[in-house]
């Protein structure tokens, strides 16, 4: 999934209405959702992803999700939004309530990958941690380095990250190449490095609950 991809269809499926569930998801979660779908043979789930770079403008997430819900809801028995709050200040939750669709719980994907309860328990001691997921490690330059202007103005690094103490890589998979890249991201940001294997966290039970 590249930053500009807007939709993703899976396995050539066409919606058949009864029993089918449409997942409207952040493009940053496409790989993880497709992996879980394949592992668990969740053939009743279809996936439509919105551009991952909407996270650069969180206020654009609720209207983009709303537009997609309104366009697709007649084709599906159920729609589930695979976004957490993601910086929308509760607007996405309110919009989902208004439309009568469910969404994954949590403030952001770092929380639900860690497990919302576990993440909340660390909040008082990890407020100086900067988090990356598998997706963000792969797309570090596109989603962190370049949007912050660090490719052009590296002197801004300490202004942006001077109050952080460590980079926590929340690994969804055991991939030595991603581990090495994440450690290099920490070096580039001038932060200590910690790898934490989280797997898919609360995403797995959230999707498991979407029975056909």
Tens-level pLDDT at each residue, the chain (212 residues): 343 444 434 333 344 467 899 999 999 999 999 999 999 999 999 999 999 999 999 999 999 999 999 999 999 999 999 999 999 999 999 999 999 999 999 999 999 999 999 999 999 999 999 999 999 999 999 999 999 999 999 999 999 999 999 999 999 999 999 999 999 999 999 999 999 999 999 999 999 999 87
State residue 14's pLDDT score: 42
Residue 191's Cβ-side half-sphere holds a number of Cα atoms within 13 Å equal to 26
What is the spatial distance between Cα 2 and Cα 92, in angstroms, rounded to a whole number? 23
- The secondary element (H helix, E strand) that includes residue 211 is none
* Burial (CB count within 10 angstroms: exposed 0-12, middle 13-18, buried 19+), residue 169: buried
State residue 212's pLDDT score: 73
State residue 19's pLDDT score: 83
State residue 10's pLDDT score: 39
CA dihedral (183, 189, 191, 193) in degrees, to 10, reads: -10
pTM of the model: 0.89
CATH of domain 17-104: 3.40.50.510
* 3-state secondary structure at position 48: strand
Residue spans of the domains in the chain: they are: 17-104, 111-197
């Amino acid at each position: 999934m590249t930053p500009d991809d807007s939709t993703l269809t899976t396995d050539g499926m066409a919606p058949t209405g009864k029993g089918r569930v449409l997942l409207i998801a952040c493009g940053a979660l496409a790989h993880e959702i497709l992996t879980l779908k394949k592992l668990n043979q969740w053939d009743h789930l279809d996936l439509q992803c919105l551009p991952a770079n909407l996270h650069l403008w969180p206020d654009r997430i609720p209207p983009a999700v709303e537009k997609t819900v309104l366009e697709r809801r007649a084709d599906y028995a159920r729609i589930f939004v695979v976004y957490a709050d993601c910086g929308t200040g509760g607007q996405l939750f309110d919009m989902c309530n208004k439309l009568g669709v469910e969404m994954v719980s949590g403030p952001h994907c770092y929380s639900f990958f860690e497990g919302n309860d576990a993440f909340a328990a660390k909040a008082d001691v990890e407020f100086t941690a900067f988090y990356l997921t598998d997706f963000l490690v792969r797309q570090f330059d596109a989603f962190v380095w370049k949007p912050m202007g660090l490719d052009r103005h590296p002197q801004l690094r300490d202004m942006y990250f001077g109050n952080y103490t460590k980079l926590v890589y929340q690994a969804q998979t055991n991939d030595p190449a991603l581990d090495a890249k994440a450690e290099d991201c920490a070096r580039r940001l001038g932060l200590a490095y910690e790898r934490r294997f989280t797997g898919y966290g609360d995403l797995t039970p959230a999707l498991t609950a979407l029975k056909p």
